[in-house]
A and B are shown apart, each in its own frame.
Chain A
Amino acid sequence: MAIGEKSGLKTGAATRDAFGEALAELGGSLPEVVVVDADVGNSTRTEPFSKKFPERSFNIGIAESNLVSVAGGLAASGKTPVVASFACFLMCNAYDQIRMSVAFPGLNVKLVGSHAGISIGEDGPSQMGIEDVALACTLPGVAVIVPADAASTKAATAAMLSHDGPTYLRLGRPKVPAIYTDGCDFEIGRSIQLRDGSDVTLIANGLMVAMALDAAEDLSAKGISARVIDMHTVSPIDEEAIIRAARETRGIVVAEEHLAAGGLGSAVARVTAEHAPVKMGFVNVGNTYAESGDPDGLLEKYGLTPEAITTAAAGLLSE
Chain B
Amino acid sequence: MAVEAIQLGNDELRDKARTLRQHIIRMTTEAASGHPTSSLSAVEVVNALFFGGYLRLDPAAPADPARDRFILSKGHAVPVLYAAMSERGYFAAEELLTLRKLGSPLEGHPNMKRLPGIEASTGSLGQGLSIGLGHALAAKVDGRDSHVYVMTGDGEMGEGQVWEAIAAAAKYQTANLTLIVDQNGYQQTGATGDVLDLTPFADRIGSFGWHTQTISGNDQDEVLAALKTAREVTDRPTAIVSRTQKGYGILPLLEEEGDLNYHGKPLSADLEQKALALLG
Contacts and interface: CB of A to CB of B under 8 A. Distances in A.
A101 B141 contact: no
Contacts of A58: 137, 172
Contact of A76 (B119, B123, B171): B119
Interface string A73-114: 111111101000000000000001101110011100000000
Contacts of B122: 100
Interface-centre pick from B132, B168, B171 (highest chain A CB count, 10 A) = B168
Given A63-B168, A70-B168, A77 B134 contact: yes
Given A73-B137, A101-B127, A101-B131, 7 more contacts: A63-B164, A65-B130, A66-B130, A72-B120, A72-B134, A76-B135, A101-B130
18 contacts: A60-B171, A61-B171, A65-B126, A68-B130, A69-B161, A73-B135, A73-B137, A74-B138, A76-B135, A77-B69, A77-B139, A78-B138, A79-B134, A79-B138, A97-B127, A101-B120, A101-B130, A105-B113
Contacts of B164: 60-61, 63, 65-66
Given A56-B141, A65-B161, A97-B127, A74 B135 contact: yes
B202 to A, nearest CB: 21
The contact size tier of chain A is: 20 to 34
Contacts, number: 109
A34 interface: yes
A219 to B, nearest CB: 48
A55 interface: yes
Nearest to B122: A100
Interface residues of B, number: 33
Given A65-B160, A70-B168, A71-B134, A105 B120 contact: yes
Chain B interface, >50% SS class: helix
Contacts of B167: 61, 63
Most interface-central of B122, B131, B138, B141 (chain A CB within 10 A): B131
A77 B65 CA distance: 7
A66 B165 contact: yes
Interface in B136-159: 136-139, 141-142
Interface string B107-138: 00001110000011111101100111111111
Contacts of B134: 69-77, 79, 81
B123 A100 contact: yes
Nearest to B167: A61
A75 B141 CA distance: 13
A124 to B, nearest CB: 26
Contacts of B124: 96, 99-100
Contacts of B131: 69-70, 72-73, 76, 101
B278 to A, nearest CB: 36
A210 to B, nearest CB: 38
Contacts of B136: 73
A99 B124 CA distance: 10
A246 to B, nearest CB: 36
A79 B133 CA distance: 13
Contact of B138 (A60, A63, A73, A99): A73
Contact of A105 (B121, B132, B165, B171): B121
Contacts of A96: 124
A65 B137 CA distance: 17
B168 A66 contact: yes
B112 A69 contact: no
Given A61-B167, A78-B65, A100 B127 contact: yes
B112 A105 contact: yes
Interface string A112-143: 00000000000000000000000000000000
Interface string A286-304: 0000000000000000000
A77 to B, nearest CB: 3
Contacts of A66: 130, 133, 161, 164-165, 168
B141 A55 contact: yes
A69 B65 contact: no
Contacts of A77: 65, 69, 134-135, 138-139, 142
A100 B142 CA distance: 25
A195 B41 CA distance: 66
What are the 9 tightest A-B residue pairs by CB atom distance, in nearest-first order? A73-B134, A69-B130, A77-B138, A66-B164, A63-B164, A73-B131, A74-B134, A65-B161, A70-B134
